[in-house]
Structure 1
């Protein structure tokens, strides 16, 4: 006995078999997805993701990141190498026969090292602004060429330099104020107890104020570039973003600094230090071309180390800024709901930060009015 055919509505086609009626509709053809894919998750980031992202964006756009870093690092290291050569009088080995000789050597050498430390910090601040568009494009799934990176900051290079200079000035002022009594006591030959007291109180206070000032204002350079703000507005905006998460920002910056010191001074310079010792094996007091070779090897090693490490520090600063905007202003959700044609335009202040002073007051919603029933006329 055969099954009776199923009922069908008038005008509809009757399926030939039960299998054909139960067969699922064919799957639609695959649609090409042109949405850019980012290697750094566009969401609030953890500490490990911040550090990993600072390496990822360099790998994604190596010419832009390493090219700009190489230019700035080379300028600084050439200046420092020439200054150290002049201070030491062209001598690589100095005989120390008395405490006075030791002070005479350590004083100028320490001063050049301190100047080099602040110049390196200035380079990192500049790079955090110069490479902010590179990081901004990477977070939204786009790469950046060297030429594009230069064009992105061409219009804001003045305010970027001013912002980096202002941050460094704040840090130097924070150091100078607590150290001033110590310097004055040494200059006037105050009693040893007074000098010791000013040193015990002044040096820790100077280090603490330096850290506090740097953490509050470190995010101002990417803000000046990505949000197109002036110097004072960028500094003020940095304090607004850091507020409430100061300890977390300080911890991430400190961890990045520890990694930088380990790699830049203990890992990368080792081959170049070995090469210098090989040159010095021929002559303990090199002259002429041998002296030039020893100095050049050391300078090249510092340039390579700084070129590779400085973009990492700059990337951490920019990623902290992006993370704070995603946590504080839901930038990740806003950029996904309303994607901009230009990746950098997405970083401009949105509705929550239109005035640059935090969330804006919400506009009142209109009250709901029920529609009139059909056929009703006023």
Structure 2
């Protein structure tokens, strides 16, 4: 005979019990419907500012990167060299705007995580309140992201240096090391991303000491690595597909409407930026909701947070 289990309390967007991956995905959509003013309104404003600054930086840096690329291959004719530089100059220029995009994305994600945590209890936080007094926590989230990027770049630079050193003695060895080392680097990056997946939510919601919270987020992934890996890959694929469905057609429209294949003229930049704002808004909202709920789910599984949340909901 099956043991009777009482129905889980659900004051908000998800039941207060350990969640399945699909319940987390569904909860991310519910979070948007529960508080669209924050989930969409705040995100659109933040993303628009980020895209505007990034577009200006890219537009300003493009002439310099184009000049650097021109003549990079002496085997090209002057016309071919100009064409190569014009096609790839703007692509390389976007690298200068990546820090801006990264910082704004983490700030927006931190804000959305706070909104989702309130939606779990059935509460709606106002746009004006969502960032009040959260500067320190947002700075920790951005700082952790910065450290993660530095660690990834350092590991990549070490691999490149090792390949170069091996290549001095053996070209075949360098090629083999590039293939094997590149695969190991990707697997290590995936492992590190999953093990630290819950850290930003912890930094945003708990407000504890930086390294203590980082260690706690690391421990919360223990025992749930494969479930979180599936969620991480599912969110990554979904955001990539949605972003591509929106951004690519808009870029094609901008190219044909302005006759600018490099998307560097002002009309082309404006049209492409509109598509980027829409795509980034949708993907950021979805990813932040999923990762916030993954953090809450991990704490319900390991720390009995569902009991605390149910008690808090009953007192309101």
Larger Rg: 1
Given that 1:219 and 1:238 are in contact with CA atoms closer than 8 Å, whether structure 2 keeps it comes out as yes
For 2:281 and 2:293, locate their aligned partners in 1 and report how far apart those are by CA, in whole Å.
Answer: 19
Q: Deviation at 1:48?
A: 1.3
Q: Deviations over 1:65-94 (max 9, x none)?
A: 224423443344334434443554398xx9
Instruction: Tell me the CA shift for residue 221 of structure 1.
Output: 1.3
Cα 1:76–1:207 shift into 2, 3 Å:
farther
The 5 Å alignment of 1:322-337 reads 322-337=296-311
Q: Look up the match of 1:199.
A: 178
Other-structure match for 2:158: 177
Q: 1:309 to 1:47 in 2, by over 3 A?
A: same
**Alignment match, 1:225:** 204
Give the match for residue 127 of structure 1. Answer: 108
Q: Report if aligned partners of 2:51, 2:277 keep a CA contact under 8 Å in 1.
A: yes
Could you say which residue in structure 2 is the equivalent of 1:249? 228
2:276 corresponds in structure 1 to 302
Distance 1:169 1:285 in 2: 30
**How far apart are the structure 2 equivalents of 1:191 and 1:273?**
43
Cα distance change, pair 124–52 in 1 and its aligned pair in 2 (3 A): farther
* Structure 1: distance between partners of 2:258 and 2:89: 23
Distance 2:45 2:130 in 1: 14
Distance in 2 of aligned mates of 1:271 and 1:104: 24
| Comparing 133-142 and 219-228, the one that deviates more | 219-228
Q: 1:163·1:234 contact (CA, 8 Å) conserved in 2?
A: no
Paired residues of 1:65 and 1:134 also in contact (CA < 8 A): yes
Aligned partner of 1:148 among 129, 143, 146: 129
Report the RMSD for the aligned CA atoms in angstroms: 3.6
How many correspondences in the alignment? Answer: 299
**Greater fraction helix:** 2
- Counterpart position of 1:52: 26
Partners of 2:193 and 2:123 in 1: CA distance: 30
> 1:20 maps to what in 2?
none
Structure 1 CA distance, aligned partners of 2:163 and 2:96? 20
Q: CA deviation at 1:233?
A: 1.2
Q: Is the 8 A contact 1:44 1:323 kept in 2?
A: yes
Q: Distance in 2 between matches of 1:142 and 1:167?
A: 32
Matched, 1:275 2:253: yes
TM-score of the pair, normalised by structure 2: 0.79
* TM-aligned CA distance change 1:197 to 1:131, over 3 Å: same
Cα distance change of structure 1 residues 98 and 110 upon mapping to structure 2, 3 Å threshold: same
Between the aligned partners of 1:157 and 1:151, the Cα distance in structure 2 is 11
Q: Post-superposition shift, 1:191?
A: 4.8
User: TM-score, normalising length from structure 1?
Assistant: 0.67
* 1:264 counterpart (231, 237, 243): 243
Q: Which runs of no fewer than 5 residues in structure 2 stay unpaired? A: 1-8
Q: Work out the CA distance in 2 between the residues paired with 1:277 and 1:106.
A: 12
Give distance in 2, aligned partners of 1:335 and 1:61: 19
Distance 1:284 1:293, change over 3 A: same
* Alignment match of 2:51 (pick from 71, 77, 82): 77
> CA 1:280–1:252 in 2, change beyond 3 Å: closer, same or farther?
same
**Residues 233 and 118 of structure 1: is their aligned pair in 2 closer, same or farther, counting only changes over 3 Å?**
same
Could you tell me which residue of structure 1 aligns to residue 15 of structure 2?
Answer: 41
Equivalent residues of 2:16, 2:309 under 8 A apart: no
Per chain length, whose mean CA-contact separation is higher, i.e. which structure has more relative contact order (CA < 8 Å, sep 6+)? Answer: 2
Gaps in structure 1 of 5+ consecutive residues: 1-34, 343-378
Relative distance call for 1:89 and 1:110 in structure 2 (3 A) is: closer
SS of the equivalent of 1:327 reads helix
- Give me the whole-angstrom Cα distance separating, in 2, the residues matched to 1:326 and 1:199: 42
Structure 1 residue matching 2:17: 3-state secondary structure: coil
Conservation of the 8 A alpha-carbon contact between 1:222 and 1:321? yes
